[in-house]
C-alpha cells in the first residue's frame, strides 16, 4: 500500500502553511543539535565517500549539513511543498532534493538504482507514519542501503507523549508550533517502543549500535525551557 490521500494531504497543507523562516517547523532544529552529533555516531560505521539519502527531509536543513560530511546528499520527502521549501533554501548549496513516497517500492528501488548503495539518515519518520505503511518505510531504508550502505535512524519513544501532553496542557494550550502539528492531524510519537526495532529487523536490517537521546524542538514550555523529546537511535546495516 502507498500512503493514504489524507496523510499526503495533511503533510502538503502543513508545509504550504510553513514559512521560510528557520525553525518555523517545530522539528526544524539547528544541525548542531541533530545531524552533526548523529553524523558523529554514524561515520565510525559508514563510508563518507558514499551518497547519503535524508529520508523525510522536510525543508532540507539537515540535508544541507549532511552534504558537508558526505560525498553527496540527497533529501527526499513525501510532500512536494516540503521539497519546494528545500530547493528555495538551498541555492548554491551542495544538496539535492526530490519528491519520494517511501512506501512506493518501485520508486525507492529506482532511487537505489540511480544512486547505488547509499548511506541513509532518517529522523523521526516511522513514529508518525500510518501504521500500515511503517513496514514499507523500514524496507525503504534496507533497499537504499544495499550491501554496503549504513543508516542512522532516530525515532521518538513513548516517553515523548508525556512531554508533548505537558507542553499542550499549559494555561494557554499548546504553543503555536505544536498547535499547528495537531491542526494538520500529524501524529507524533504514535509508534510503540518495541515496534521500531521490530520493524527494522523484520526489514532485514542489523543493529550495529543503539542508544538513547533527545530530539530538540524549536518550541518551548511556558517557562522558556526548550521542548526536548525522548528518542532512541540506531546505526544499521543490511543482514
DSSP 34-54: THHHHHHHHTTTS-TTSEEEE
Give the Cβ contact number of residue 213 at 10 Å. Answer: 17
Quote the pLDDT of residue 188: 77
Quote the pLDDT of residue 92: 66
pLDDT, averaged per 10 consecutive residues of the chain (239 residues), comes to 86 95 95 98 98 97 97 97 93 87 97 98 94 96 98 96 91 90 84 94 98 97 94 97
Quote the pLDDT of residue 1: 54
Give the Cβ contact number of residue 123 at 10 Å. Answer: 23
Quote the pLDDT of residue 135: 97
CA-wise closest residue to 60 among 25, 27, 33, 87 = 87
Q: From residue 227, how far is each of 28, 168, 184 by CA, in Å?
A: 12, 11, 20
Amino acid at each position: 500500500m502507498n500512503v493514504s490521500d489524507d496523510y499526503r494531504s495533511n503533510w502538503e497543507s502543513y508545509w504550504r502553511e510553513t514559512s521560510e523562516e528557520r525553525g518555523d517547523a517545530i522539528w526544524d532544529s539547528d544541525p548542531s543539535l541533530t545531524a552533526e552529533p548523529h553524523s558523529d555516531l554514524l561515520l565510525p560505521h559508514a563510508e563518507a565517500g558514499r551518497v547519503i539519502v535524508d529520508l523525510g527531509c522536510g525543508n532540507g536543513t539537515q540535508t544541507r549539513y549532511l552534504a558537508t560530511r558526505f560525498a553527496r546528499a540527497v533529501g527526499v520527502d513525501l510532500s512536494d511543498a516540503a521539497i519546494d521549501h528545500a530547493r528555495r533554501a538551498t541555492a548554491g548549496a551542495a544538496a539535492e532534493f526530490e519528491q519520494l513516497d517511501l512506501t512506493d517500492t518501485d520508486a525507492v528501488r529506482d532511487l537505489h538504482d540511480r544512486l547505488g548503495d547509499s548511506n541513509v539518515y532518517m529522523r523521526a519518520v516511522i513514529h508518525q507514519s500510518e501504521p500500515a505503511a511503517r513496514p514499507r518505510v523500514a524496507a525503504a531504508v534496507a533497499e537504499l542501503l544495499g550491501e554496503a550502505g549504513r543508516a542512522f535512524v532516530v525515532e521518538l519513544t513513548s516517553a515523548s507523549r508525556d512531554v508533548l501532553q505537558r507542553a499542550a496542557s499549559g494555561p494557554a494550550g499548546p504553543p503555536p508550533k505544536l498547535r499547528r502539528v495537531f491542526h494538520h492531524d500529524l501524529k507524533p510519537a504514535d509508534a510503540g517502543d518495541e515496534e521500531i526495532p521490530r520493524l527494522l529487523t523484520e526489514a532485514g536490517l542489523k543493529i550495529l549500535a543503539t542508544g538513547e537521546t533527545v530530539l530538540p524542538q524549536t518550541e518551548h514550555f511556558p517557562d522558556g525551557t526548550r521542548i526536548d523529546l525522548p528518542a532512541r537511535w540506531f546505526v544499521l546495516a543490511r543482514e
